[in-house]
Protein backbone atom coordinates (compact mmCIF):
# COMPACT_ATOMS: atom_id res chain seq x y z
CA UNK A 1 0.00 0.00 0.00
CA UNK A 2 1.20 3.48 -0.88
CA UNK A 3 0.74 5.31 2.43
CA UNK A 4 1.52 8.69 0.87
CA UNK A 5 -1.72 8.45 -1.13
CA UNK A 6 -3.85 6.83 1.62
CA UNK A 7 -7.00 8.66 2.66
CA UNK A 8 -9.42 7.24 5.23
CA UNK A 9 -12.13 9.48 3.75
CA UNK A 10 -11.76 8.72 0.05
CA UNK A 11 -15.50 8.69 -0.65
CA UNK A 12 -16.41 11.80 1.35
CA UNK A 13 -13.30 13.91 1.98
CA UNK A 14 -13.10 15.79 5.26
CA UNK A 15 -10.76 18.77 4.74
CA UNK A 16 -8.37 19.73 7.51
CA UNK A 17 -9.76 23.28 7.53
CA UNK A 18 -13.02 21.83 8.98
CA UNK A 19 -11.22 19.86 11.71
CA UNK A 20 -10.82 20.89 15.34
CA UNK A 21 -7.11 19.94 15.13
CA UNK A 22 -6.42 22.41 12.29
CA UNK A 23 -3.55 24.72 13.19
CA UNK A 24 -2.32 26.80 10.26
CA UNK A 25 -1.75 26.36 6.52
CA UNK A 26 1.84 25.70 5.50
CA UNK A 27 3.59 25.67 2.13
CA UNK A 28 0.99 27.80 0.38
CA UNK A 29 -1.89 25.50 1.34
CA UNK A 30 -0.12 22.28 0.33
CA UNK A 31 0.07 21.23 3.96
CA UNK A 32 -1.38 22.12 7.33
CA UNK A 33 -0.02 22.05 10.87
CA UNK A 34 -1.98 19.49 12.89
CA UNK A 35 -2.42 20.44 16.55
CA UNK A 36 -3.11 16.82 17.54
CA UNK A 37 -0.17 15.11 15.83
CA UNK A 38 2.19 18.13 16.10
CA UNK A 39 3.38 17.78 12.50
CA UNK A 40 2.56 19.00 8.98
CA UNK A 41 -0.17 16.98 7.25
CA UNK A 42 0.40 16.85 3.48
CA UNK A 43 -3.11 15.92 2.33
CA UNK A 44 -5.23 18.77 3.73
CA UNK A 45 -8.12 18.29 1.30
CA UNK A 46 -8.79 14.69 2.40
CA UNK A 47 -8.11 14.86 6.14
CA UNK A 48 -6.87 12.01 8.30
CA UNK A 49 -8.15 9.22 10.55
CA UNK A 50 -8.31 11.60 13.55
CA UNK A 51 -10.56 14.17 11.85
CA UNK A 52 -13.10 15.79 14.18
CA UNK A 53 -15.57 18.36 12.84
CA UNK A 54 -15.04 21.84 14.24
CA UNK A 55 -18.56 23.26 14.69
CA UNK A 56 -19.24 26.30 12.52
CA UNK A 57 -16.29 25.97 10.14
CA UNK A 58 -18.36 24.75 7.21
CA UNK A 59 -21.63 26.60 7.89
CA UNK A 60 -21.19 29.26 5.20
CA UNK A 61 -19.20 27.25 2.67
CA UNK A 62 -21.86 24.85 1.44
CA UNK A 63 -19.51 21.86 1.27
CA UNK A 64 -20.23 20.28 4.65
CA UNK A 65 -18.65 16.82 4.81
CA UNK A 66 -21.40 15.49 7.09
Domain assignment present for 46 = yes
Domain assignment present for 10 = no
Domain assignment present for 9 = no
Full residue range of the structural domain in which residue 29 is found: 16-61
What is the tally of structural domains in the chain?
Answer: 1
Domain assignment present for 8 = no
Cβ-based burial of 31 (10 A; exposed 0-12, middle 13-18, buried ≥19): middle
Domain assignment present for 1 = no
Q: Which of these ranges, 11-15, 20-24, 42-46, 59-63, has the smallest mean pLDDT?
A: 59-63
Strand partners, 26: 31
2 pLDDT tier (thresholds 50, 70, 90): very low
Q: Are 42 and 31 in contact (CB under 8 A)?
A: yes
pLDDT over threshold 50, residue 48: yes
Amino acid sequence: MDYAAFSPHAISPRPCRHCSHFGIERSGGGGVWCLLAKHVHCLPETGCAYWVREPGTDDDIGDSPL
